[in-house]
Chains A and B, each alone.
Chain A
Amino acid sequence: MTDQPILVGYDGTDAAQRAAEFAGKRAAAEGCAVHLVYVLEWSPYSFLSTQELEERHQRRTEELSRAEQTLKPALEALNKLKIPVTSEVRYGHSGELICKIAEDKGACQIIVGRKGGSALGARLLGSLPLTLVQASPVPVTVVP
């Protein structure tokens, strides 16, 4: 049993589901833990209207609890396989945050799903797998 967990970028989509399942198998084989990270895209430099300022704290609480709900089935599934699993929900830029958490947790690798968008769309809008492949401090596995 190694204390280096496998980091999984998870957002409840089918792609994330596949990534979590794949990570479960790897973790079982290697005898390590899984850490699920749910990133809510957020920039402290975006513009909000006065109304949004007023409601921000309320919305944030709602978003956090919704994210926790989304994480639940994945956590339960991994628990059933007797894999030690933890999770966290964070606000920020997904690429940057996942890299940072991987470093902080001393993760052995990162596993993310791929939605299968077009290459052009990924170039224009940026994509999490591409960012991670470029910037990650640890090996990255992209699950199709």
Chain B
Amino acid sequence: MFWNKTVTASAVALLSAILPQIAQAQEVGLDQRINEAIAPISNVIAGTMFYSVPIAGTAFPLIVGWLVVAATIFTLYFGFVQFRKFGHAISLVKGDYSHPDDAGEVSHFQALATALSGTVGLGNIAGVAVAVSIGGPGATFWMILAGLLGMASKFTECTLGVKYRNELPDGRVSGGPMYYLSKGLAEKGKPGLGKVLAILFSVCCIGGAVGGGNMFQANQAFQQVLNVTGGENSFLAGSGWLFGLVMAIIVGVVIIGGIKSIAKVTEKIVPFMAIIYVTAGMIIIISNISMVGDAFAQIFVGAFTGAGVAGGVVGALIQGFKRAAFSNEAGIGSAAIAHAAVRTKEPVTEGYVALLEPFIDTVVICTMTALVITISGELNSGLTGVELTSAAFASAFTWFPLILALAVVLFAFSTMLSWSYYGLKSWTYLVGEGKGKEIIFKLFFCLCVIVGSSMSLGPVIDFSDSMIFAMAIPNIIGLYFLMSVVRGEINQYWEKIESGEIKKVK
């Protein structure tokens, strides 16, 4: 209790120290200043991360290829596990194999739901809009394909996340790529490489947490709020920092102040908002069912001709792959942190459950958004990001942008909370555990909320993309070394199923 008070007090002190400066700078356009200060840095990082080679006359970022090649290799290596074991995954989530004595522990469903609440969010609403506005409807096809392949990457990383997790003496469970990279590669006789990769991953994860997990979220949430309050003429126009400050305080109250009730309320509302969003999308699609065939035709034709898209087929492909990876985070390693806490004796069971994540996230929700945008005909309106999605839904329900604004803010908030945790785990892996060290990260995280909502979309997307994708480099190198371990886990698991040692309890 005492600790909480001290922390809250110090957070308030810090904020009151920067507040007057913010107010002073407002006249010269604080948003613009923050933007100008950050953009050059994010440009350099994005430029390095997205080093591209020309393929068929279009710049192809190597990192996108890196993810798709990995997903394809895992798909082949595990014999299309995402299709063969889809039913088994559903059965695990339903609890058919959960021992009754384990009631009260983290269930497969809970691990999946929490991981999903970290990934389903703006990537599905704003990210898809970015993909189709740049890559045309054809980007959707490549996005779905990347989503299906990504299921194999997710399977691999989440199995390892559980296998090499840390179970602390006090009963807490902590896992993720930093642990399987260091412990797993040590088992393979490469402790040095494992350590380097684990550290590299942690550094990138902190970047991803403040980038895609924070600044992109804050930015898009502000855009949508600005949108529904009157766009250019809104009283909030040019005051992104103010919105960011409010968001930062709420995030700070939860992650620093430890006020669980706010997090609890969000956790309850977010699935509800997701259901509203999907339902609204389905209504639009069903009421325009005659246009769905045409929309799919546009998606397929666009995918293979790249008509009217900068960069043609490759342009559409890059956009689709990029946004799929950004949305479902397969191969990035983040989900392995959330999935690691599940109660199971068999790591591979959580892998099966985790492969549902890219399916729900990308194949179902992202495709739905893309269909709504394509059907609405708003694609040529010149809008992008969440504004495009908002306009597309508004063409069917005029009041929808308001609901969407609420959903966007809540999705952004819950994603920020999830990523603050991923970032924190990486931070403590690097610097060690300790209240003081954790506070430093959390304060920095809150500061980034303000920065994110102040910047224009371009630099934010570039920065968040690059940091999230950077996590995939050490993670996937590790996955290649450890995929034989996963195969061993699969074999011994199915032997137990066949021998009847593991059987359905329902």
Contacts and interface: CB of A to CB of B under 8 A. Distances in A.
Contacts of B341: 50, 53-54, 56-57
Nearest to A58: B171
Would you list the 6 A-B pairs with minimal beta carbon distance, nearest first? A58-B171, A91-B104, A44-B107, A91-B103, A53-B341, A50-B421
A118 interface: no
B103 A90 contact: yes
B172 interface: yes
A53 B338 contact: yes
A47 B114 contact: yes
Nearest to A97: B103
A63 B103 CA distance: 12
Nearest to A44: B107
Interface in A25-58: 40, 42, 44-51, 53-58
Given A45-B107, A53-B106, A61 B171 contact: yes
A53 B111 contact: yes
A48 B171 contact: no
B263 interface: yes
B347 to A, nearest CB: 16
A57 B109 contact: no
A46 B107 CA distance: 9
Contacts of A126: none
Contacts of A53: 106, 110-111, 114, 173, 338, 341-342
Nearest to A53: B341
A42 B103 CA distance: 8
Contacts of B118: 50
Given A47-B268, A48-B267, A49-B114, A54 B174 contact: yes
B253 to A, nearest CB: 14
Contacts of B343: 56-57
Contacts of A40: 104
B418 interface: yes
B105 interface: yes
Given A49-B267, A50-B338, A56-B105, A44 B172 contact: no
A60 interface: yes
A54 B56 CA distance: 47
A44 B173 contact: no
Interface string B253-267: 000000010011001
B238 interface: no
Contacts of B365: none
Contacts of A48: 106, 110, 113-114, 267
18 contacts: A44-B98, A47-B113, A47-B271, A49-B264, A50-B337, A50-B341, A53-B106, A53-B114, A53-B338, A54-B341, A56-B341, A57-B167, A57-B171, A57-B173, A58-B171, A60-B105, A91-B103, A92-B100
Contacts of A63: 104
A100 to B, nearest CB: 9
Contact of A50 (B95, B167, B260, B418): B418
Given A47-B268, A50-B421, A90-B103, A58 B111 contact: no
Contacts of A90: 103
A55 B106 CA distance: 10
Contacts of B98: 44
Contacts of B174: 54
